Amino acid sequence: MDQELTILLSRIQFALALAYHIIFPTINIGLSLIIATFEWQWLKTGQKHFYNLTRFFTKIFALAFGVGVVSGITLSFMFGTNFAKFSLVTGNILGPLLSYEVLTAFFLEASFLGIMLFGWNRVSAKMHFISTIIVAIGTLISAFWILAANSWMHTPQGFSIDVNGILQVESWRKIIFNPSFPYRYFHMIFASFISASLIAVGICAYYYLRDNQKKEHISGLKISLCFLAVLAPMQLIIGDLHGLNTVKYQPYKVAAMEGRWESMEGAPLILFAIPDQENQINHFEIGIPKLASLILTHEMDGEVKGLNDLSKEARPYMATIFFSFRIMVGLGISFILIGLYGAYLIYKNKLSSSRVYLKLLPWFAPTGIIATICGWIVTECGRQPWVVHNVMLTKDAASILHPTTVMFSLMAFGMVYTLIFISFLFYLIKFIKHGIKEYALPYKLYPEDANLIHRTPWLDEEKE
């Protein structure tokens, strides 16, 4: 009984730490693209407001980067403290993958982040822009290794098990490029881009409502909205492909996502229900006939697996997955609508006059992060009771600890993380309240430093 409580507390601790940590890499991956775009526009056009936007969002990037590094370090320690058996069994595979992330991505980011943050007036405009691009590439490489490791836990291959039960590498190519990796990687990268776009949209809309005379506000808003208008529909396609891959390799995760207890052909798409895990039924179910089969199998009468095909011990907890999935999808659809409507307003030159729309945008600033966390809840809870799918159970991965010990560490981490998050929000709000400042240009853009091609009229203030 003590060990069951230990496992539960360890899982809660790791889940909270991971949900907390994922906020900051998500912001950094997406913001790096937006910052690079602003800096490129500055170099291309010579318009100072793009430089001001670059400097402002770089401060937010630096703040998130610092907190992300701190919170990420503790996660690696939790593998050894709370899941020592997991580390022992999978260490030959996951250890190198996590090390590659440090040796390639983290060192790359650390080397050029200083130039990106403090290189103004010290290096040329071109060199600074190259440093910004390299930092952005570093975030993508970091995500590559982390998601390769995570995806392998969902669709493991390329290994063997020795006589001691330890996993041994057979093929690094198969381990890294496992069946779910490309879908999970691009789904997460696009989630990061969308999340950062929403943050930039919310901040710039807030500023524009306060002062519609500054070019920084309208230009930042338009660029971010265009990112959202392009990326959000693409994410829908990637998510559909990811779902089809999950149907193939983890059909019972999809059953939990869809609220499906019994396997059936021509399954309805359940829009809302209250799953009852004990009695294996849904209360207050509302669905669209045959649509789940059409989406998941591309056939009206295709078969969709149900959780009752598994024993009770082998089933993931449906309610958590079911509702998290609907929050993620619902927010994703709203992102598409917001982005496309914003692009339409830009095209019609009516963005500045759409006050209701502009007032709505700041409220959506954190929703990309919320959708991302819900997506990770679906992914990780849907894999249960396995920590490595069909290879190692979560209950077999946990360290043998007294529950009191884990409870103490859970409380300690909770308090420390809360203080750090409060500090993060304090400085973030402080940055936002101070606004996008007028920075002194670090140097004049000579032809050898930049190609001053033309202005960008559609990014300027709209004529009423």
Is residue 112, in this structure, part of any structural domain at all? yes
Asked whether the beta carbons of 54 and 405 are under 8 A apart, the reply is no
Residues 115 and 211 occupy one common structural domain: no
Residues 269 and 403 occupy one common structural domain: no
At residue 158, the pLDDT reads 93
- Calpha distance 305→34 (Å, rounded): 41
At residue 454, the pLDDT reads 45
Query: Is a pLDDT exceeding 60 seen at residue 252?
Result: yes
Residues 74 and 173 occupy one common structural domain: yes
For range 212-236, the mean pLDDT: 89
Query: Is a pLDDT exceeding 90 seen at residue 285?
Result: no
- Calpha distance 232→379 (Å, rounded): 20
Three-state DSSP at 274 gives: strand
Q: Give the percent of the chain with pLDDT over 70.
A: 94
Three-state DSSP at 275 gives: strand
Q: Would you tell me the crossing angle of helices 125-154 and 107-118 to the nearest 10 degrees?
A: 150
Q: Residue 82 has which token pair?
A: 């709370």
Is residue 457, in this structure, part of any structural domain at all? no
At residue 464, the pLDDT reads 44
Place of tokens 């690094």: 172
C-alpha distance across the termini of the chain, in Å: 70
Q: How confident is the model at residue 154 (pLDDT cuts 50, 70, 90)?
A: very high
For range 354-373, the mean pLDDT: 94
For range 186-191, the mean pLDDT: 96
Residues 35 and 168 occupy one common structural domain: yes
Residues 156 and 39 occupy one common structural domain: yes
Three-state DSSP at 119 gives: coil
Residues 241 and 358 occupy one common structural domain: yes
Is residue 104, in this structure, part of any structural domain at all? yes
Q: How confident is the model at residue 375 (pLDDT cuts 50, 70, 90)?
A: very high
Residues 203 and 261 occupy one common structural domain: yes
Contacts of 2 (CB under 8 A, 6+ apart): 402, 403
Q: Which residue has the higher pLDDT, 162 or 446?
A: 162
- Calpha distance 159→362 (Å, rounded): 48
For range 217-223, the mean pLDDT: 90
Residues 164 and 287 occupy one common structural domain: no
For range 288-301, the mean pLDDT: 88
Q: How confident is the model at residue 447 (pLDDT cuts 50, 70, 90)?
A: very low
Is residue 99, in this structure, part of any structural domain at all? yes
At residue 451, the pLDDT reads 47
Query: Could you tell me where the DSSP H helices lie in 161-298?
Result: 172-176, 181-210, 215-249, 251-258, 291-297
Compute the mean pLDDT over every residue in the chain, rounded to the nearest whole number.
89
For range 426-448, the mean pLDDT: 74
Contacts of 129 (CB under 8 A, 6+ apart): 36, 39, 40, 43
How many beta carbons lie within 10 A of that of residue 83, not counting itself?
A: 21
Residues 223 and 170 occupy one common structural domain: no
At residue 398, the pLDDT reads 87
Residues 374 and 405 occupy one common structural domain: no
> What would the pLDDT profile of 324-333 be if each residue is shown by its tens digit?
999 999 999 9
- Calpha distance 315→332 (Å, rounded): 27
Residues 158 and 212 occupy one common structural domain: no
Residues 213 and 345 occupy one common structural domain: yes
DSSP 329-385: HHHHHHHHHHHHHHHHHHHTT-GGG-HHHHHHGGGGTTHHHHHHHHHHHHHHHHHTT
Q: Residue 206 has which token pair?
A: 């807030």
> What would the pLDDT profile of 88-135 be if each residue is shown by its tens digit?
999 999 999 989 988 888 888 888 999 999 888 888 888 999 999 999
Is residue 458, in this structure, part of any structural domain at all? no
For range 31-46, the mean pLDDT: 92
Q: What is the distance, to the nearest Å, from the Cα of residue 400 to the centroid of all Cα atoms in its chain?
A: 32
> What would the pLDDT profile of 332-343 be if each residue is shown by its tens digit?
999 999 999 999
At residue 445, the pLDDT reads 53
Domain span including residue 347: 191-385
> Please, what's the b/e burial string for 293-328 (b: 16 or more CB within 10 A of its CB; e: otherwise)?
bbbbbeeeebebbbbeeeeeeebbebbbbbbbbbbb
Q: Are strands 303-304 and 386-388 parallel, antiparallel or unpaired?
A: unpaired
Is residue 392, in this structure, part of any structural domain at all? no
Q: How confident is the model at residue 448 (pLDDT cuts 50, 70, 90)?
A: very low
Q: Residue 278 has which token pair?
A: 């004990």
